[in-house]
A = this chain, B = another copy of it.
Amino acid sequence: MCELLGMSANVPTDILFSFTGLMQRSGPQAPHRDGWGVAFYEGKGLRLFQDSVAGADSEVAALVRRYPIKSEIVIGHIRHANVGGVSLANTHPFVRELWGRNWCFAHNGQLADFHPPRGFYQPVGETDSERAFCDLLNRIRTVHAEEVEGTRLLPILTQACTEFRQHGVFNCLLSNGEWLFTCCSTKLVEITRKAPFGPARLRDADLTVDFHAETTPRDVVTVLATEPLTEGEQWDQHPSGSWSLWRLGECVARGRLGGEA
């Protein structure tokens, strides 16, 4: 299985601290050694860093760890390969253009017997994850030729996630640069940091940050992850079979997938 990292913020914020924590889990001795990737929205542009080696062995990861890229939406992923070999083409996050926007997607889980209909978007690699991403975009494009608000996509997204879950585990992060959508099939946690900011300490490395010194009182920053990244803070677990939609650090909608109580 893999691990996800997402961020939604109301000001461009760097994610060095959380990224450093996540990368501790992507080493030669760690389970997630089959690649990593992180995408930073910068306006409508998207900056994607990836490698098909473990984060600990990656020169590109070393750059990202020391380079404070500020973004309002970030999607990161560390990979333990199950479907598809270890290659750049199989490395999350995946990116496609729709409506003149960069869409970005990462998945934790595994889908069995998953063969969505061929559509406009086609996978470049061999993963079930990229097939799911292409299918999501094909469903959206079929219904909406022109751009619509994120909330208007919820029926399509939640229906697709409900179907995908019938094939296995489907925790995902999806963004078009305006909003961040999450689906929790089994594991996803969140924390929203806002004033008064305090210190936090990574679980996986001897590193503490004082967010008070790095923020303004108006900042709202939500981090989503497969497992909590810090100690001494309250991370909230998403219920199994739930989704959420984030904008500028705040949750604007959330609910249960079809078939969930």
A141 to chain B, nearest CB (A): 9
Q: Which of B60, B101, B124 contacts A45 (CB 8 A)?
A: B124
Cross-chain contact A88 with B42 (CB below 8 angstroms): yes
Q: How far is the CA of A96 from the CA of B98 in the complex (A)?
A: 10
A144 at the interface (CB under 8 A from B): no
* A125–B177 alpha-carbon span in the complex (Å): 13
What distance in Å separates the Cβ of A62 from its nearest Cβ neighbour in chain B? 8
Residues of B within 8 A of A48 (CB): 48
Q: Is the CB of A43 within 8 A of B87?
A: yes
Given A43-B87, A87-B45, answer yes or no on A100-B124 (Cβ-Cβ < 8 Å). Answer: yes
User: Contact between B50 and A50 (Cβ–Cβ < 8 Å)?
Assistant: no
Question: Which residues 46-71 of A sit at the B interface, judged by CB distance below 8 A?
Answer: 46-48, 50, 52, 59-60, 63, 67
- For the complex formed by this chain, how many copies does it contain in all? 2
Contact B89 A44 (CB under 8 A): yes
Residues on the B chain within 8 Å of A99, using CB: 122
Q: How long is the Cα–Cα vector from A96 to B121 in the complex, in angstroms?
A: 10
Chain A contact residues, majority secondary structure:
mixed
Complex: how many Å from CA A53 to CA B114? 43
In the bound assembly, the distance between CA atoms of A88 and B43 in angstroms comes to 8
Residue in chain B with minimal CB distance to A120 = B120
Task: Known A-B contacts: A45-B88, A120-B120. Give 11 more (CB < 8 A).
Answer: A42-B88, A45-B50, A45-B52, A45-B90, A45-B125, A46-B88, A59-B67, A60-B67, A96-B97, A97-B122, A102-B124
Closest 9 CB pairs of A and B: A45-B88, A45-B89, A100-B122, A44-B89, A42-B88, A63-B63, A44-B124, A59-B67, A100-B124
Binding site for B on A (CB under 8 A): 42-48, 50, 52, 59-60, 63, 67, 87-91, 95-97, 99-102, 120-125
A-B pairs with beta carbons under 8 Å apart, 27 shown: A42-B52, A42-B87, A42-B88, A42-B89, A43-B88, A43-B89, A44-B87, A45-B52, A45-B87, A45-B88, A45-B91, A45-B124, A46-B88, A47-B88, A48-B48, A60-B67, A63-B63, A95-B95, A96-B97, A97-B122, A97-B124, A99-B122, A100-B122, A100-B123, A100-B124, A102-B124, A120-B120
